[in-house]
Chain A
Amino acid sequence: MKCEDVSKILIAYLDRRTNSADRGEIEAHLSSCPACWTRAEEFRRLWVVMDAVPGIEPSFAFDAKVRQRIAAEPRSRWFGWLVPQPRIVFSMALLAALSIWMAKMPPNDLGSGGKGQDFEAIKDLGVLENYDVLTKFDALDELPTGDSIQVQNPKPEEQSTQKGGGS
């Protein structure tokens, strides 16, 4: 056994936790190697020296402080499992609100019947936006119609009717 091998099991040897084979080998090495023997002896002395270092005692208030901190912990209640977590409650509320909002929205049936016609009417809104002006435009009434062109001298009551209709 070499010095490097001894260093791997020296602590276990000093702790008496090596098997008998290792113990025999290491003792054979220690008896022939002054450096390793010195190290082993100084480790033993080191442990004795370390034992002499006194420890400290916990303060008198230690237990009371631990109990105080435990008492400040939130208590788990027997019905705790029934109380849902806030994030789950929030998610479910959001989902419910979204469902209600979508249910209240009008059905989107643009391709069907009368609604389709409405869409056709507003499709060219830019062109038709002056529809009222054009339909009530007085100047159009004054344009000669086909009948008035054929009758060169209309009767006075017919003229007054035409003027009255335009006002």
Chain B
Amino acid sequence: MLDVKSGDEESFAILLQKYRSPMVNFLYRMVRDAAAAEDLAQEVFLRVYRARKQYSPSAKFTTWLFRIATNLALNSIRDNRHRQMDVSIDAPVEEDEVRVELPAREMRIDDFMVERDRTALIRRAIAALPEKQRAAVLLHKYEEMDYGEIARILDCSESALKSLLFRAYETLRVQLAPLVSQPVAHPPGERRPS
């Protein structure tokens, strides 16, 4: 990023190549709309380019990048919520966006359908989380960031973040119980009933 700051256009192209996929995925999981996610990701890179002269390496570049992305995503979600409140009751109901995912060649069609439903269930459960919990889970699980970095992005303390993550995963555990629940729970030290 320091090379970008000094005017090296090639370095910006490298940044773009490295972070475009994580950025689009993060924003897609945040806003649940592929086209909107691409637009927002472009806006993130545009803002990085605009602010390159003011960049100071006081924090990790990814912290700065994902902070911009998170703020844009949260604003977009809020704007969309207001827009949806203005929609007439006669307007057609929009279904969850279904992306066309083709089965792998070796996969049977029923396996593919089970997998597709499973994926949709998980995506819906993540999307149903409150925005800040969702962002925390995505940054923790998919971007594999450490607590300090996520806390800086979400502007909260590390202890508040741990509590946020616990509540989010607890909600997901309940929502996705058919996929994750253990048939019988036995702590390793406890004797199992015969």
B: residues with CB less than 8 A from A are 13, 16-17, 20-21, 24-25, 28, 34, 37-38, 41-42, 45-46, 49-50, 99, 101, 118-119, 122-123, 126, 140-142, 146-147, 159, 162-163, 165-166, 169-170, 172-173, 176, 179-182, 185-190
Contact partners of A58 in chain B: CB under 8 A: 20-21, 24, 38, 41
Q: What residue in chain A is nearest B99 (Cβ atoms)?
A: A56
Expressed in whole angstroms, the minimum distance between the Cβ of A41 and any Cβ of chain B is 6
Contact partners of A148 in chain B: CB under 8 A: none
Check A63 against B20 for contact (C-beta < 8 Å).
Answer: yes
Expressed in whole angstroms, the minimum distance between the Cβ of A49 and any Cβ of chain B is 5
Check A49 against B176 for contact (C-beta < 8 Å).
Answer: yes
A80-139 contacts to B, CB under 8 A, are none
Contact partners of B165 in chain A: CB under 8 A: 11
> Please, how many angstroms separate the alpha-carbon atoms of A12 and B151 in the complex?
14
> Please, how many angstroms separate the alpha-carbon atoms of A52 and B159 in the complex?
29
Contact for B180 among A8, A45, A63, CB less than 8 A = A45
Interface residue? A59 (CB, 8 A):
yes
Contact partners of A163 in chain B: CB under 8 A: none
List 13 contacting pairs A-B, 8 Å CB cutoff, sorted by A.
A10-B166, A11-B165, A31-B187, A31-B188, A32-B190, A38-B185, A41-B185, A46-B172, A46-B180, A49-B179, A50-B122, A55-B21, A62-B20
Interface residue? A165 (CB, 8 A):
no
Expressed in whole angstroms, the minimum distance between the Cβ of A4 and any Cβ of chain B is 11
Check A59 against B173 for contact (C-beta < 8 Å).
Answer: no
Q: When A and B form their complex, which 4 residue pairs have the shortest distance between CB atoms, in order from nearest?
A: A31-B189, A38-B185, A37-B187, A55-B25
Contact partners of A8 in chain B: CB under 8 A: 159, 162-163, 166
> Please, how many angstroms separate the alpha-carbon atoms of A33 and B37 in the complex?
43
Check A62 against B24 for contact (C-beta < 8 Å).
Answer: yes
Given A11-B162, A41-B182, A52-B119, A46-B38 contact (CB < 8 Å): no
